[in-house]
Structure 1
Amino acid sequence: MLRLLARGSGHHGLTEIADSLGLARGTAHGILRTLQRVEFVEQDHTTGRYRLGAALLHLGTSYLDANELRSRSINWADTLAARSGQEVRIGMHHDGAVLVVHHVFRPDDSVQTLGIGAMLPLHATALGKVLLAYDPDLSAAARRRELTSLTRRTITRTQMLERVLTEVRGQGWAGEAEEYMPGEASIAAPIRIPGGLVIGAIGISGAADRLCDSTGRPRATLVRQVVQAAESVTTSLVDEN
Structure 2
Amino acid sequence: MQAPPGNIQSVGKAVAILRVFENGQPQRVSDVARAAQIGQSTASRLLSTLEAAGLLERDPVANLYRLGPDMITLGGVALNQHPLFRGSRQTLQNLAGRLGLGANVAIRRENSVLYLANFEGPEAPRNHTIAGRRDPLHATSMGKCLLLSVPVEERAALLGELVRYTSATITDLDALNEAVDEVERRGFAVDVDEFALGRASVAAPIRDAQGAVIGAMSISGPATALRLDERQGELAAIVVETADRIGSGLGYTAAIA
Q: 2:237 aligns with which of 221, 224, 227?
A: 224
Which runs of no fewer than 5 residues in structure 2 stay unpaired?
1-78
Q: Give a deviation string over 1:15-44, Cα, whole Å, max 9, x none.
A: xxxxxxxxxxxxxxxxxxxxxxxxxxxxxx
Structure 2 match to 1:57: none
Deviation at 1:76, TM superposition (A): 1.4
Q: 2:103 aligns with which of 84, 88, 97?
A: 88
Q: TM-score, normalised by structure 1?
A: 0.66
2: CA distance, partners of 1:218 / 1:66: 35
Structure 2 match to 1:235: 248
1:152 partner SS: coil
2: CA distance, partners of 1:203 / 1:113: 18
Q: 2:129 aligns with which of 114, 135, 150?
A: 114
Deviation at 1:96, TM superposition (A): 1.1
Structure 1 match to 2:118: 103
Alignment of 1:124-135 (within 5 A): 124-135=139-150
1:123 partner SS: coil
Deviation at 1:134, TM superposition (A): 3.4
Coordinate RMSD, CA, aligned: 2.6
Deviation at 1:117, TM superposition (A): 0.4
1: CA distance, partners of 2:179 / 2:189: 9
Q: Supply the AA of the counterpart residue of 1:80.
A: L
Q: 2:86 aligns with which of 71, 77, 84?
A: 71
1: CA distance, partners of 2:240 / 2:124: 26
Q: Supply the AA of the counterpart residue of 2:234.
A: T
Q: 1:151 aligns with which of 166, 170, 182?
A: 166
2:218 partner SS: strand
Deviation at 1:213, TM superposition (A): 3.5
1:237 partner SS: coil
Deviation at 1:181, TM superposition (A): 0.3
2: CA distance, partners of 1:101 / 1:147: 24
Larger RCO (CA within 8 A; separation ≥ 6): 1
- Aligned pair in 2 of structure 1 residues 66, 134: CA closer, same or farther (>3 Å)? farther
Deviation at 1:161, TM superposition (A): 0.7
Deviation at 1:82, TM superposition (A): 2.2
> Is the Cα contact below 8 Å between 2:105 and 2:217 reproduced in 1?
yes
2:219 partner SS: strand
> Is the Cα contact below 8 Å between 2:93 and 2:119 reproduced in 1?
yes
1: CA distance, partners of 2:252 / 2:174: 39
1: CA distance, partners of 2:183 / 2:142: 11
Structure 2 match to 1:164: 179
Q: Give a deviation string over 1:131-184, Cα, whole Å, max 9, x none.
A: 012321686246761100001100001111111111010001111100000010
Q: Supply the AA of the counterpart residue of 1:69.
A: L
Q: 1:123 aligns with which of 134, 138, 150?
A: 138
> Is the Cα contact below 8 Å between 1:105 and 1:114 reproduced in 2?
no
2: CA distance, partners of 1:164 / 1:117: 26
- Aligned pair in 2 of structure 1 residues 110, 168: CA closer, same or farther (>3 Å)? closer
> Is the Cα contact below 8 Å between 1:66 and 1:92 reproduced in 2?
no
